[in-house]
Chain A
Amino acid sequence: MNFVIEMRRHLYILMLFAKNSIISQMEYRANFVTGIFVEAAFLVAKLLYVVVVYKTNIHIDGLTPDTILMFMGTHILLTGIYMGLFFNNFQRLTEYVRTGMLDLMIVKPISLQFLVSVRHIEVGMPIPNIIAGSIMVSIGWSASDIPFTLLNILLFIIFIFIATILTYCIMIIPPLLSFWFVNTSAASEISYSVWDANNMPKLIYNKWIQRIGTFIIPVFIVTNYAPLIVLHKLTKVEMVWGILAPLIFFMLIRMLWKQALKYIAVQTCNFGCLRKGEEESL
Chain B
Amino acid sequence: MTRNKYVVAFRIGFQSSLEYRFNFFLSLLSAAFPMIVQYYMWTAVYANAGEKDVFGYSYREMIMYTILAAVVSKLVISNIESSIAEDIKSGGLNKYIIQPIYYFGFRISSYIGQRLMYFTISLCIILALTYILNTFYSLKTEEERILIFCLSIILSVILSFLISYAICACAFWLSEISYFFVVTSLLINMMSGGIFPLEIFGERLQQIFRLLPFHYLIYFPVNVLSGKISGHQIWQGIMGQGVWIILLLLICHLVWKRGMKRYLGLGG
The A interface, classified by DSSP as helix, strand, loop or mixed, is helix
* A37 lies within 8 A of B20 (CB): no
Q: A56-B45, A187-B26 are in contact. Are A194 and B179 (CB under 8 A)?
A: no
Interface string of A56-73 (1 = CB under 8 A from B): 111110000000000000
Residue of A nearest to B37 (CB): A197
CB of A1 closer than 8 Å to a CB of B: no
- Stretch from B141-149, B182-190, B229-237, B251-259 contacting the other chain: B182-190
Of A31, A51, A60, A193, which contacts B33 at CB under 8 A? A193
Interface string of B107-135 (1 = CB under 8 A from A): 00000000000000000000000000000
B200 CB to closest chain A CB (Å) equals: 6
Complex-state Cα separation, A58 to B40, whole angstroms: 12
Residue of A nearest to B175 (CB): A30
Write out the residue numbers on chain A whose beta carbons fall within 8 Å of the beta carbon of B26. 186-187, 189-190
* B37 lies within 8 A of A190 (CB): no
Complex-state Cα separation, A28 to B134, whole angstroms: 54
CB of B176 closer than 8 Å to a CB of A: yes
Q: Which of B139-190 contact A (CB under 8 A)?
A: 175-176, 179-180, 182-183, 186-187, 189-190
CB of A268 closer than 8 Å to a CB of B: no
B250 CB to closest chain A CB (Å) equals: 28
Residue of A nearest to B32 (CB): A193
Write out the residue numbers on chain A whose beta carbons fall within 8 Å of the beta carbon of B45. 52, 56, 58
* A45 lies within 8 A of B186 (CB): yes
* A38 lies within 8 A of B196 (CB): no
A126 CB to closest chain B CB (Å) equals: 15
* A35 lies within 8 A of B22 (CB): no
Q: A52-B200, A58-B45, A183-B20 are in contact. Are A199 and B37 (CB under 8 A)?
A: yes
CB of A232 closer than 8 Å to a CB of B: no
* A56 lies within 8 A of B183 (CB): no
B125 CB to closest chain A CB (Å) equals: 16
* B20 lies within 8 A of A31 (CB): no
Complex-state Cα separation, A34 to B30, whole angstroms: 27
B195 CB to closest chain A CB (Å) equals: 6
Interface string of A21-52 (1 = CB under 8 A from B): 00000000011001101100110110011011
Write out the residue numbers on chain B whose beta carbons fall within 8 Å of the beta carbon of A55. 55, 200
A137 CB to closest chain B CB (Å) equals: 20
Residue of B nearest to A28 (CB): B176
CB of A154 closer than 8 Å to a CB of B: no
CB of B243 closer than 8 Å to a CB of A: no
CB of A205 closer than 8 Å to a CB of B: yes
Q: Which of A200-227 contact B (CB under 8 A)?
A: 200, 204-206, 209
CB of B44 closer than 8 Å to a CB of A: yes
CB of A196 closer than 8 Å to a CB of B: yes
CB of A185 closer than 8 Å to a CB of B: yes
Write out the residue numbers on chain B whose beta carbons fall within 8 Å of the beta carbon of A263. none
A197 CB to closest chain B CB (Å) equals: 4
* A45 lies within 8 A of B183 (CB): no
CB of B104 closer than 8 Å to a CB of A: no
B49 CB to closest chain A CB (Å) equals: 7
Of B55, B180, B189, which contacts A34 at CB under 8 A? B180
Q: Which of B185-205 contact A (CB under 8 A)?
A: 186-187, 189-190, 195-196, 200
Known contacts A48-B196, A184-B23; can you find 5 more A-B pairs with CB under 8 A? Answer: A185-B27, A186-B20, A193-B30, A193-B33, A197-B36
6 cross-chain pairs, A with B, having the tightest CB-CB distances, nearest first:
A186-B26, A186-B27, A193-B33, A186-B23, A183-B20, A197-B33
Pull 29 A–B residue pairs with CB atoms less than 8 Å apart, ordered by A. A30-B175, A30-B176, A38-B179, A44-B190, A52-B200, A55-B55, A56-B45, A58-B44, A181-B20, A181-B22, A183-B22, A185-B23, A185-B27, A186-B23, A186-B27, A186-B29, A187-B26, A189-B26, A190-B30, A192-B30, A193-B31, A193-B34, A196-B34, A196-B37, A197-B33, A197-B34, A200-B41, A204-B40, A205-B40
